[in-house]
Amino acid sequence: MPERLAPGDTAPDFTLPDADGRPVALADHRGRKVIVYFYPAALTPGCTKQACDFTDNLDVLATAGYDVIGVSPDAPGKLATFRDKESLKVTLVSDPDKSVLTAYAAFGEKTMYGRTVTGVIRSTVVVDESGRVAHAFYNVKATGHVAKLLRDLGV
């Protein structure tokens, strides 16, 4: 499992399909700050809460110069259902082979309900305008994470 990213590291580039199957590339966001968040599964309570929190704060984040991309192993069709059902405005991308999740150290062993399992580690990486990691948060909570992130970023 790759080492966790730290401030100053180059953020691994990626191009993944969005909910409509269109390619979304991290490189296309150079010049803006990007919040890349990794979540286990669309249409689950915690992930829905987190995605809704990002959607509710999207204007505030955009005004502060941040774009938001959510990454999960879900297929584009499931992401489209998630987006439409919850009226999400964040960009959701599909990483079914978990290559990007792995590159960002957001996939691996974690503890769930007292057991060690392998899966998506709920994480958020903030990438600066030049493609470097500004902040990396691992094992974040679904609820309250966006509010904490806003505080941490001074937004």
For residue range 103-120, list pLDDT tens digits in order: 999 999 888 788 999 999
Write out the H or E segment, with its range, that includes residue 126. Answer: strand 123-127
Query: What radius of gyration, in Å, describes the C-alpha atoms of the chain?
Result: 14
Residue 134's closest CA among 111, 107, 155, 109?
155
pLDDT at 33: 97
Q: What backbone phi and psi angles, to 5 degrees, belong to 139?
A: 55, 45
Task: Please pick, among 11, 19, 42, 47, the residue that the annotation labels catalytic.
Answer: 47
pLDDT at 108: 92
For residue range 13-29, list pLDDT tens digits in order: 999 999 999 999 999 99
What is the sign of the dihedral through the CA atoms of 119, 122, 128 and 134?
Answer: negative
Is 52 a residue of the active site? no
Which CATH architecture describes the domain 15-153? 3-Layer(aba) Sandwich (3.40)
